[in-house]
């Protein structure tokens, strides 16, 4: 899903807040006014024969055909409004023509029918538990701390570029992975029954009743497996579930096993069952006046708990779902507030924030101790922990997500404080500190983790940092470089020797190639604005041997002169960031990539957050009560 552009015009911000886009009148006729402009300035590269970037404007002959492609126009608006298109050297539209194009593209990009009764909730693909979700669920189900990666070698879940490990498309189940689940089930059962360390608490969760004079063994077994199936399958146990599990119990008893061992025989079948390993929702026909199928309360509890906690529903969610009360708006909103305050919601930080900010890649950051001796594992851990503690403060204190762009606080320990030049911090434990302008910090773009993972071995990478701003902060990733574009010779000068050209000069020379100029004009000024931070995020000033030039001009014409200036520009576009943050959190919540039919939800959630001071809780509440979270696409 393409996001809003870096240089979004004010008209698009006003437009985004309107409730019924489809009812608005187009600002211009496509056939009479827009198509001729596309033919003049765009058709040379976007026609039947040459579809650069996969875009062809030739088939659009009237308003109806054009307005059927909002996703295309959203992308086009981003390119035109930022000056990336038409490319440098091509025939350029006049200022009034460009304004007309952007206004129409803004309209077309938002041309959606947002009536909830007709809104497509999108697909709800079958989702296997991620490795993290599996471990957490085992822990909550039995009280057994368990890491399937360490215990049996269950592999990490694959992650698509710029996405999350909980997306259904990546969570396939190969025979090799299934073998790991069988092995993991054996290990879990061994821990429940074999170790005194786990025995009491874990066994109590299994043996919820004991047989006796008034409760025959098989009746006790029935109650035990019914409770086990209800909790493990995260829904009321069905007769066929109970009958199947009792079959394992009966066969074990027939062999002469004790009551306890016969119950033990039912656990592995539960743990390797699709109903446990997958989040299964029932297909049912649509009912009422909505286009999708409203999920039931137990399915809602599962979506909610795995979104915020990365684990199974707790007793309160089960109780509300059993009573059919969870879907009541007031109850659901109250549960969101409760769950966000719970320590289990740290899973949202570890699952969403760390992946969205790419901090999960910090251990593979390129800078080495050969060139930066203090950039050791201890400092890397502190950098990662800073990001976690910062997002946790936003969650637990219900702060504005705009703190991610700029804040007067952060979290450091002694090594990280020394790295940042912050005095008065001792010890290895992170603590909250108030930032001063002289610290040159505040927000994620001043954090060592982000700055280090966007660097090369011995120097910064303005291109990687600029791409990070466009992609992670604004959700407008630049196009990939063309093939055979060549690279810059990247050799560190000999000690005491000055490079014949600064890296900025080398990059400017490289960017003169026509195929590179458009993207570098968009990327490089953002990255060079951060060049006062060295490759591992320490602040530096230029020297005669290593001069720094942090100035640049954005495609919009705005000038930036360093990190503080860049922060000012980014804050002036805070709603572009907020929309992207909204879209990424919605993607994480739904476990699938977004598409054009999700644009209404992104818009509504962003507006709700905006009206509530950009608080995280307002955004989460709007997502949880949204059409795609509460419904699934009806089967035909």
- pLDDT for 243 equals 98
Query: Cβ distance 270 to 228 under 8 Å?
Result: yes
Q: Helix, strand, coil % (nearest 5) of the chain? A: 55, 5, 40
Distance CA 533, CA 204 (A): 55
Strand 559-561 versus strand 431-434 pairing type: unpaired
Which of 50-54, 204-208, 252-256, 442-446 comes out lowest in average pLDDT? 50-54
* Overall average pLDDT of the 268-272 stretch: 98
Distance CA 584, CA 578 (A): 10
Which of 198-202, 544-548, 594-598 comes out lowest in average pLDDT? 198-202
- pLDDT for 593 equals 95
271's CB contacts (< 8 A; 6+ apart) are 138, 181, 184, 185, 188, 189, 232
Confidence band (pLDDT; 50, 70, 90) for 493? low
- Greater model confidence, 606 or 193: 606
Does the pLDDT value for residue 368 go beyond 60? Answer: yes
Confidence band (pLDDT; 50, 70, 90) for 23? very low
Phi, psi of 266 (to 5 degrees): -90, -15
pLDDT in tens, 614-629: 999 999 999 999 999 9
- pLDDT for 284 equals 80
- pLDDT for 488 equals 58
Does the pLDDT value for residue 360 go beyond 50? Answer: yes
* Overall average pLDDT of the 541-545 stretch: 83
- Greater model confidence, 597 or 250: 250
Mean residue pLDDT of the chain comes to 89
Instruction: Tell which residue, 506, 445, 510, 498, has the closest CA to residue 472.
Output: 445
- pLDDT for 20 equals 36
Does the pLDDT value for residue 3 go beyond 70? Answer: no
Confidence band (pLDDT; 50, 70, 90) for 500? low
- Greater model confidence, 169 or 507: 169
* Overall average pLDDT of the 33-40 stretch: 91
- Greater model confidence, 1 or 634: 634
Does the pLDDT value for residue 124 go beyond 80? Answer: yes
- pLDDT for 4 equals 33
Distance CA 316, CA 321 (A): 9
Q: What 3-state class would DSSP assign to 434?
A: strand
Confidence band (pLDDT; 50, 70, 90) for 514? low
Does the pLDDT value for residue 12 go beyond 70? Answer: no
Which pTM was predicted? 0.83
- Greater model confidence, 509 or 104: 104
Confidence band (pLDDT; 50, 70, 90) for 67? confident
Q: Rounded to the nearest 5 degrees, what angle is found at the Cα of 215, between the Cα atoms of 210 and 216? A: 100
* Overall average pLDDT of the 135-157 stretch: 95
Percent of the chain's residues with pLDDT above 70: 87
- pLDDT for 490 equals 59
- pLDDT for 222 equals 98
Strand 551-553 versus strand 559-561 pairing type: antiparallel
Cα 188 to Cα 128, 151, 184, 589: the distances in Å are 19, 10, 6, 28
* Overall average pLDDT of the 416-441 stretch: 98
Confidence band (pLDDT; 50, 70, 90) for 113? low
Confidence band (pLDDT; 50, 70, 90) for 30? confident
User: Could you please report the per-residue DSSP string of 539-593?
Assistant: B----SSS----EEE-TTS-EEESHHHHHHHHHTTHHHHHHHHHHHHHHHHHTS-
- pLDDT for 43 equals 86
Query: Cβ distance 441 to 538 under 8 Å?
Result: no
Confidence band (pLDDT; 50, 70, 90) for 445? very high
pLDDT in tens, 199-236: 568 889 999 999 998 999 999 999 999 999 999 999 99
User: Could you please report the per-residue DSSP string of 140-197?
Assistant: HHHS----HHHHH-PPPPP--TTS-TT-GGG----HHHHHHHHHHHHHHHHHHHH-HH
- pLDDT for 491 equals 57
Distance CA 45, CA 42 (A): 6
């Amino acid at each position: 899903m393409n996001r809003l552009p870096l240089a979004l015009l004010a008209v698009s911000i006003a437009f985004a807040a309107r409730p019924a886009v489809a009812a608005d009148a187009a600002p211009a006729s496509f056939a009479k006014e827009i198509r001729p402009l596309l033919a003049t300035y765009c058709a040379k590269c976007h026609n039947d024969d040459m579809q650069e970037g996969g875009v062809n404007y030739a088939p659009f002959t009237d308003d109806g055909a054009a307005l059927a492609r909002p996703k295309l126009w959203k992308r086009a608006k981003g390119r035109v409004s930022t000056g990336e298109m038409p490319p440098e050297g091509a025939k350029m539209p006049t200022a009034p023509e460009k304004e007309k194009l952007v206004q129409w593209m803004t309209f077309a990009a938002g041309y959606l029918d947002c009536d909830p009764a007709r809104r497509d909730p999108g697909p709800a693909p079958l989702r296997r538990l991620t490795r993290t979700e599996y471990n957490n669920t085992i822990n909550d189900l039995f009280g057994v701390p368990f890491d399937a990666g360490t215990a049996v070698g269950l592999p990490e879940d694959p992650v698509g570029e710029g996405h999350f490990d909980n997306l259904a498309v990546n969570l396939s189940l190969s025979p090799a992975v299934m073998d790991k689940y069988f092995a993991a089930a054996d290990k879990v059962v061994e821990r429940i029954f074999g170790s005194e360390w786990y025995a009491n608490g874990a066994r109590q969760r299994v043996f919820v009743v004991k047989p006796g004079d008034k409760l025959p063994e098989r009746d006790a077994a029935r109650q035990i497996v019914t409770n086990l199936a209800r909790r493990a399958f995260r829904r009321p146990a069905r007769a066929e579930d109970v009958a199947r599990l009792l079959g394992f119990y009966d066969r074990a008893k027939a062999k002469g096993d004790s009551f306890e061992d016969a119950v033990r025989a039912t656990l592995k079948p539960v743990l390797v069952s699709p109903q446990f390993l997958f989040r299964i929702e029932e297909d049912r026909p649509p009912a009422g006046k909505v286009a999708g199928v409203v999920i039931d309360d137990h399915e809602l509890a599962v979506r909610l708990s795995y979104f915020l906690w990365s684990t199974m529903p707790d007793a309160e969610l089960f109780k509300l779902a059993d009573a059919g009360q969870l879907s009541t708006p007031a109850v659901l909103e109250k549960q969101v507030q409760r769950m966000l305050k719970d320590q289990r919601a740290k899973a949202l930080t570890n699952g969403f924030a760390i992946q969205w900010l790419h901090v999960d890649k910090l251990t593979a950051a390129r800078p080495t101790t050969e060139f930066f001796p203090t950039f050791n594992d201890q400092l890397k851990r502190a950098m990662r922990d800073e990001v976690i503690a910062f997002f946790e403060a936003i969650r637990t204190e219900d702060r504005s997500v705009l703190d991610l762009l700029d804040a007067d606080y952060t979290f450091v320990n002694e090594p990280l404080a020394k790295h940042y030049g912050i005095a008065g911090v001792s010890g290895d434990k992170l603590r909250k500190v108030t930032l001063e302008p002289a610290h040159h910090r505040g927000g994620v773009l001043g954090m060592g983790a982000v700055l280090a993972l966007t660097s090369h071995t011995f120097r910064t990478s303005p291109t990687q940092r600029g791409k990070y701003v466009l992609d992670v902060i604004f959700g407008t990733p630049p196009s990939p470089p063309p093939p055979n574009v060549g690279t810059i010779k990247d050799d560190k000068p000999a000690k005491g020797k000055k490079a014949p050209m600064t890296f900025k000069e080398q990059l400017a020379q490289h960017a003169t190639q026509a195929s590179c100029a458009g993207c570098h004009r968009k990327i490089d000024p953002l990255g060079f604005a951060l060049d006062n931070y060295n490759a591992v995020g320490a602040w530096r000033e230029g020297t005669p041997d290593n001069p720094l030039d942090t100035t640049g001009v954005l495609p919009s014409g705005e000038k930036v002169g360093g990190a503080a200036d860049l922060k000012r520009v980014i804050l002036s576009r805070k709603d572009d960031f907020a929309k992207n943050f909204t879209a990424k959190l919605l993607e994480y919540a739904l476990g699938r990539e977004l598409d054009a039919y999700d644009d209404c939800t992104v818009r509504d959630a962003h507006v709700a957050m905006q009206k509530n001071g950009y608080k995280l809780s307002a955004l989460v509440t709007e997502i949880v009560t949204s059409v795609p979270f509460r419904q699934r696409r009806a089967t035909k």
